[in-house]
Amino acid sequence: MKNAPEAFDWDKVSTKGFGSGYSQEEIDKLSAMYEGTLHEIAEKEVVQGTVVGITDKDVILNIGFKSDGLVPLAEFRDLEDLKVGDVVDVYIEDQEDANGQLILSRRKARVVKAWENIQKALDNDTIIEGVVKRRTKGGLIVDIFGVEAFLPGSQIDVKPIRDFDIYVGKKMEVKVVKINYTNDNVVVSHKVLIEKDLEAQKVEILNNLEKGQVLEGVIKNMTNFGVFIDLGGVDGLLHITDISWGRISHPEEVLKLDQKVNVVVLDFDEDKKRISLGMKQLTQHPWASLGEDIQVGSRVKGRIVNVADYGAFLEVMPGVEGLIHVSEMSWSQHLRNPQEFIKVGDELEAVVLTLDREERKMSLGIKQLTEDPWTKQDVLTKYAVGTKHNGLVRNLTNFGLFIELEEGIDGLVHVSDLSWTRKIKHPSEFVKVGDRLDVVVLELDAENRRLALGHKQLEENPWDTFETIFTQGSVHKGTIVAKNDKGANVELQYGIEGFASAKNLVKEDGSNAEVGESLDFKVNEFSKDDKRIILSHTATFSGETAEKKKPAPKKKDAPAESADNKTSNEPASSSLGDNSALAALKEQMQENQKKAE
């Protein structure tokens, strides 16, 4: 059995060989130099690396680690002249992958570095330069340090921006105003830079501002009541009424956005920093250039610029207007709404009625262009008493209706002059507005422009005939059409009514006559002037003679009602119909009754 080998003694090994020619001091020195080439590194941080080699796919970088790292060549596309020896920032993703290789990333290094720079810009309130890449909803996307930041439309400029596309592709100085690391969002502003520059200018403007001062500004916003003008950091309001001496409905008719204009300071509120501006005040008032040839009685032409309830305004020249009152539009007395006659935009001719150059007031008239119908020579003969006409019903009142015979010639038909037989409480029971009606002239007062007309006077008064038919004591068939505690209204032939008191409604069997019953009635009293017939059914079988009553006092145009029914509120009966059939009522009563039906 062989003997076991002796234990190996390292101390007996010769030190001759690799490094055997160095002293201990030299070895320590060389070791220190070697360790100085190595660095302690940590993953997920950005370090600087030196390019030591470039291949078709990768860039080899030395970051002072025990091995070199690789970065895809594609991450250096922005560096076309990359060469060995260049120093770049890289991000350590992995110190050693499965193959023992150091993995680096220049792209991630740029992102990390960019966010560090963005944070520094926010902390130090520094100005950075970016490039506008594209527009987006509500603003622009700006590239800063390789990171896309959002620039809201309201933060682009101090004035509203309507076209964002003009900024795309251009460089713009911005400030970081907000960072959201959760969503990797950055918000920047260009407006804050402008506001800072304008602040000093604004203070200077406000300190030197005074009424009557003329300034240049830019229109930044328009509304229906005026425009806001940027005076260089401070805004002023130019009201629509101070834009032009002429009347305009909206500022856009004469101005446009971003237009440079000269304005005058009308008023200034130092506390609220409100500035009222004027533009028309920079030019002479149009009334000053109104020709001397325009006097009372002159004819002028213009355009209707406004219509109100009381009249319309005619613009004779820009800034010079005259009022056409509704009463001066037509000789007719029934024109109530000017909009029925004229409208905005109409071009008209008018006559100057009054003119006050100092007060800048003018009243005009249109009806004066035609002759006053009441001053015509033939008016007295054309509308003489007794002449017959056909007119248009223009208006209804409680006491009658107004009829227009021609423009400017109106007449009144009193409610009592509408029918001989019907008890009309309101003209609407007989006619309506817009109808045409035959009338006869009852009275003419040309001096006061008054005509009294009548409709019933076109026919003979049937009560002259009724007086011979409904004689006292005569008996006629009648129908009760209405009844109350005092008595009943009885409709007789020819459509006229009589009245029977309650005691005269007792029938032969002792019962009372009711509404709808047709009975014989005796005439107790007949009054042609009062258009009243008093009846009794009881008298037809009791043998009583007609009641002798003292005639009631005559009342002009009093409605026909019984003495016992002066307070009765029963409705009036229907009319005779065609009253012209009563002209020969005595001879043809039966035939006329058929015509009435």
d(C-alpha 583, C-alpha 587), whole Å: 10
Share of the chain above pLDDT 70, in %: 80
**Band of pLDDT at residue 277, cut at 50, 70 and 90:** very high
Architecture of the 46-110 domain: Beta Barrel (2.40)
Helix ranges (H only) for 338-391 are 379-382
pLDDT band at 585 (very low <50, low <70, confident <90, very high): very low
Task: Give the separation between CA 95 and CA 39, rounded to whole angstroms.
Answer: 12
Residue 178 has pLDDT above 60, yes or no: yes
The pLDDT of 84-103, averaged and rounded, is 72
pTM here is: 0.44
pLDDT, greater one: 85 or 518: 518
> What is the rounded (10 degree) CA torsion for 471, 475, 476, 481?
100
Widest Cα–Cα separation across the chain: 187
> Looking at the predicted structure, is the pLDDT value of residue 94 above 80?
no
pLDDT value of position 26: 67
Which pLDDT value is given to residue 495? 75
pLDDT in tens, 427-440: 998 899 889 999 99
Mean pLDDT of the chain: 78
- With residue 60 as reference, give the H or E element that holds it: strand 58-62
Q: Which of 234-243, 384-393, 545-554 has the lowest mean pLDDT?
A: 545-554
Is residue 7 pLDDT above 70, yes or no?
Answer: no
pLDDT of amino acid 581: 40
Confidence of residue 116 (pLDDT cuts 50, 70, 90): confident
Name the band, by pLDDT with cuts 50, 70 and 90, for residue 479.
Answer: very high
For residue 589, give the amino acid letter: M
Q: Residue type at 128?
A: I
Query: Could you tell me whether strands 450-454 and 409-414 are parallel, antiparallel, or unpaired per DSSP bridges?
Result: parallel
Spatial neighbors of 444 by CB under 8 A, at least 6 apart, are 380, 383, 384, 385, 450, 451, 452
| DSSP letters for 131-158 | EEEEEETTEEEEEETTEEEEEEGGGT-S
Nearest C-alpha neighbor of 415 from the set 436, 396, 388 = 396
25-29, 149-153, 391-395: least confident range: 25-29
CATH of domain 125-194: 2.40.50.140
240 in Cβ contact with 279 (< 8 Å): no
Distance of CA 447 to the CA centre of its chain: 48
Domains 214-282 and 373-458 alike in fold: yes
Burial class of residue 92, CB neighbours in 10 A (0-12, 13-18, 19+): buried
Band of pLDDT at residue 323, cut at 50, 70 and 90: very high
Section 134-140 average pLDDT: 88
Question: For residue 224, which amino acid is it?
Answer: N
Q: Report the pLDDT value the prediction gives residue 262, as an integer from 0 to 100.
A: 92
Q: What is the pLDDT of residue 249?
A: 84
**Is the confidence at residue 473, as pLDDT, over 80?**
yes
Q: Give yes or no for a contact between 534 and 498, defined as CB atoms under 8 angstroms apart.
A: yes
Q: pLDDT: is 92 or 582 the higher one?
A: 92
- Quote the CA–CA distance of 318 and 416 in Å, as a whole number: 54
pLDDT surpasses 80 at 364 = yes
pLDDT of residue 453: 92
Residue 584 has pLDDT above 50, yes or no: no
206 pLDDT higher than 80: no
Please write the tens of the pLDDT for every residue from 518-548.
999 999 998 877 788 999 999 888 865 444 4
pLDDT one-digit tens code per residue, 480-504? 999 999 999 998 887 788 899 999 9
Q: Indicate if the pLDDT at residue 1 is higher than 50.
A: no
- Which of the four pLDDT bands, split at 50, 70 and 90, describes residue 271? low
Q: Domain 286-369: which topology?
A: OB fold (Dihydrolipoamide Acetyltransferase, E2P) (2.40.50)
| Mean pLDDT score, 571-593 | 41
Q: What percent of the chain has pLDDT above 90?
A: 15
Q: Give the Cα separation of 349 and 327 in Å (integer).
A: 16
Look at residue 238 in the predicted model and tell me its pLDDT.
92
What average pLDDT score do residues 572-581 get?
A: 38
Query: What pLDDT score was predicted for residue 261?
Result: 92
Tell me what pLDDT residue 278 has: 92
Q: Check pLDDT > 60 for residue 164.
A: yes
Q: Tell me what the mean pLDDT of segment 558-576 comes to.
A: 37
Whether the pLDDT of residue 558 is over 70: the answer is no
Q: Facing residues of 15 across strands?
A: none
- Kindly report the three-state secondary structure assignment for every residue of 482-500: EECCCEEEEECHHHCEEEE
Domain 463-596 CATH superfamily: Nucleic acid-binding proteins (2.40.50.140)
Distances (CA, A) of 463 to 6, 326, 500, 560: 172, 46, 19, 11
Mean pLDDT of 102-123: 79
CATH topology of domain 214-282: OB fold (Dihydrolipoamide Acetyltransferase, E2P) (2.40.50)
Q: At residue 377, does pLDDT exceed 80?
A: no
Per-residue confidence (pLDDT) for residue 488, from 0 to 100: 92
| Domain 373-458, CATH | 2.40.50.140
Which residues fall within 8 angstroms of residue 165, CB to CB, at 6 or more apart? 135
> What is the spatial distance between Cα 336 and Cα 327, in angstroms, rounded to a whole number?
8
Q: Strands 497-501 and 532-536, how do they pair?
A: parallel
pLDDT of residue 157: 82
The mean pLDDT of 156-168, rounded to a whole number, is 81
Band of the pLDDT at 5, cuts 50, 70, 90? Answer: low
Distances in Å between the Cα of 118 and the Cα atoms of 48, 150, 166, 276, 588 are 20, 13, 26, 43, 116
Residue 561 pLDDT: 41
pLDDT for residue 243 is more than 80: yes
Domain boundaries, the chain: 46-110, 125-194, 214-282, 286-369, 373-458, 463-596
